[in-house]
Amino acid sequence: MPMQTPFAPSALSAPSTPSPDSRLDVAGDLLALLRDTTTEPRPDPQLEALALAVAADLPVLLWGEPGIGKTAALTQLAASLDLPLTTVIASVHEPSDFSGLPIIGDDPAEKGVPMAPPDWAVRLVRAGRGLLFLDELSTAPPAVQAALLRLVLERRVGALRLPPDVRIVAAANPRSSAADGWELSPPLANRFVHLQWTHDHEVVVRGLGGTWPEATLPHLDRDKLPEAVAFARRAVCGLLSARPALVHRLPSGETRRGGPWPSPRSWDMALSLVAFATAAGSSRAVLSELVRGTVGDGPGLELLATLDRMDLPDPETLLADPAGAELPARGDLRQAVLDGVVAAVRARPEKSRWDAAWELLVRALDTGAPDLVVVPATTLASLRREDWDVPAAIERLAGAVSLSRKADAAAVRANARAEAEAAAKARR
C-alpha cells in the first residue's frame, strides 16, 4: 500500500463545523440555565392575598400594567400547588366557546340540541382539578363577557360543570393600557375579587438574580375554624345592620362599575375571605387587599374599622381590673378604648367605676402618647358628682391636659400669625 505524504488530499481534514442541531442544543442548555430559578419564603401581601382567595375558591381578577408578572405569578402558584394550568385568552374566543357549541343529535325534537363544551373544559374535567387562567379579560368584547358570567359564577361551560377542585383566576390590563380594551360589565366585575397587581423593585431584582417569592396556600388552623366563621359573620352582619345602605350600592361611573362594589354577592365573598384570613392568621395588609378588592375601598375600610373595634377589650373588663389592663398600642385603637371606658362610666356612673377610669387614664398616660388622654380626661371630669372625692390621679393628668391645651393654643396663634403675614404680603 503506497505511503501518503503529508500533503496528500486525504491528510488534509476540513475544520469541524458544528451541525445546526448541536448549536441549538447549546442554546437550549443556556436557556435551561437562565430558567433555573428557585423560590424562598418571603412576605408578599399581594401574593398571599391571591393564594388566600384561591384557597377560598373565589374567582380572582388581577389588575395591572402589562409586563409586571401577573402570568408568571399564576404559573408559579399553579406549580407550587401541583395544579395543571390552563390558559384561555378570552378576547380571541367567541361567546359560543364559553356557552357551548350547539350539536344536533339523533332526535333534536325529543332530546333537544346539546351544547358541546370546548376542548380545554373537557381536559379540566378529565383531570378533575386545575387552575383556569382567563387572560386579557379587559380586551374581551361585551358579548364574550356575557358568555363568561355562567362560567365564573356557576363553573358551567355549556352542559359541562367544572370539578370543585378547579380554581378560576383572571388577569386584565387597565383600559388605558389594554389592546383595544373594554370596561368590564358590572355583572361580571361583581363576580370577582379584584386585586391590584404591582411590582416591588426589590422582589424583581432578587428574582432576576434567581430567587422569587414562594407562592403557597396559607396554613389554616383547624381549631380556629368555628371561631373564624363566627367572627366573620359577626363583623359583616354588624356593619350592615348599622349601615344598611352598604348592602347594595352600584357605582354611578362606568369605570368604577367595572371594579369592586358592594352587593349581597360581594359581601358573601368578603365574609368568606375574613373567615379564611382569620383562620390563617393573615396580616392586616393582606386582609385589607382582600376586603377592599371585594366590596370597594369605602365599604372595605368601614369593614376593617369594624374588625378593629371587635378586637378591642371590653370596657367593663378594663374597669373591673384597671391595674392589669392591656391597652392597644395603636393610637387610634387606644383612643377608641378610652372613649369606650368613659362612655361606660357615663352609662352607669358610680364612684368606684369613676375612680377605675382615672386609673386607666393614668396607665394610658404612662404607656402611650399623652395627647390621647386629653379628651377622655376632660369628659370624665365632667361626670363627677358633688359627693365624690377627687382622686390623686387627676393631678398627674392635669399637667398633660394643661400642656396639650397650651400646645393647641400656640398652634392656633401660629396659624393666625401665618395667615396675617400672607394677607399682608398679598396687599403689597
The answer to whether residue 177 scores a pLDDT higher than 80 is no
Query: Residue 399's pLDDT band (boundaries 50, 70, 90)?
Result: low
| Grid cell in block for residue 252 | 354611578
The answer to whether residue 148 scores a pLDDT higher than 80 is yes
Domain ranges of the chain: 41-213, 222-310, 315-427
Nearest to 272 by CA among 294, 299, 257: 294
Q: For position 107, what pLDDT does the model report?
A: 65
Q: For the sheet with 85-89, list strands across it.
A: 85-89, 129-135, 165-172, 60-63, 193-196
The answer to whether residue 426 scores a pLDDT higher than 70 is no
Phi, psi for 24 (deg, rounded to 5): -65, -30
The answer to whether residue 81 scores a pLDDT higher than 90 is no
Helix (H, G, I), strand (E, B) or coil at 145: helix
Query: Residue 412's pLDDT band (boundaries 50, 70, 90)?
Result: low
Q: Which amino acid, one-letter code, is at 295?
A: V
Q: For position 406, what pLDDT does the model report?
A: 42
Residues in the chain: 428
Nearest to 142 by CA among 194, 95, 209: 95
Q: For position 138, what pLDDT does the model report?
A: 85
The answer to whether residue 248 scores a pLDDT higher than 90 is yes
Residue 69 carries which DSSP code?
S
Q: Which of 133-147, 280-294, 377-391 has the lowest mean pLDDT?
A: 377-391
Q: What is the rounded CA–CA span in Å between residue 158 and residue 113?
A: 11
Q: What is the rounded CA–CA span in Å between residue 112 and residue 96?
A: 17
**pLDDT tens per residue across span 201-245:** 888 888 888 888 887 778 898 999 999 999 999 999 989 988 899
Q: State the CB neighbour count (10 A cutoff) for residue 389.
A: 8
Percent share of the chain, pLDDT over 70: 83
Backbone conformation region of residue 163, classed left if phi is above 0, alpha if psi is from -120 to 50, else beta = beta
**pLDDT tens per residue across span 319-340:** 998 888 888 888 878 888 888 8
Decide: residue 208, CB within 10 A, 0-12 exposed, 13-18 middle, 19+ buried: exposed
Q: Which residue has the cell 365599604?
A: 299
Query: Residue 179's pLDDT band (boundaries 50, 70, 90)?
Result: low
Q: What is the rounded CA–CA span in Å between residue 5 and residue 274?
A: 89
> DSSP for 168-211?
EEEEE--GGGSTT--PPPHHHHTTSEEEE----HHHHHHHHTTE
Instruction: State the pairing for strand pair 115-116/129-135.
Output: unpaired
User: What mean pLDDT is predicted for residues 376-385?
Assistant: 85
User: What mean pLDDT is predicted for residues 105-132?
Assistant: 81
End-to-end CA distance of the chain: give it in Å, rounded: 117
Nearest to 138 by CA among 100, 87, 176, 168: 176
Between residues 202 and 57, which one has the greater pLDDT?
A: 57
Supply the angle between the helices 351-367 and 331-347 in degrees, to the nearest 10.
170
Q: What is the rounded CA–CA span in Å between residue 261 and residue 249?
A: 7
Model confidence pTM above 0.85 = no
Q: Which residue has the cell 356575557?
A: 146
The second-level CATH assignment, the architecture, of 41-213 is: 3-Layer(aba) Sandwich (3.40)
The answer to whether residue 414 scores a pLDDT higher than 80 is no
Spell out the residues 6+ positions from residue 19 whose beta carbon is closer than 8 angstroms to its own. Answer: none
Residue 7 carries which DSSP code?
T
Mean pLDDT of the chain: 83
User: What mean pLDDT is predicted for residues 166-183?
Assistant: 79
Identify whether the C-beta of residue 144 lies closer than 8 Å to the C-beta of residue 90.
yes
Between residues 362 and 404, which one has the greater pLDDT?
A: 362
Query: Residue 96's pLDDT band (boundaries 50, 70, 90)?
Result: confident
Q: Give the H/E segment covering residue 132.
A: strand 129-135
**pLDDT tens per residue across span 290-316:** 999 999 999 999 999 889 888 788 888
Q: For position 272, what pLDDT does the model report?
A: 96
Query: Residue 1's pLDDT band (boundaries 50, 70, 90)?
Result: very low
Q: For position 180, what pLDDT does the model report?
A: 63
The answer to whether residue 261 scores a pLDDT higher than 80 is yes
- Return contacts of 201-206, CB within 8 angstroms, 24+ apart: 203/42, 203/44, 204/69
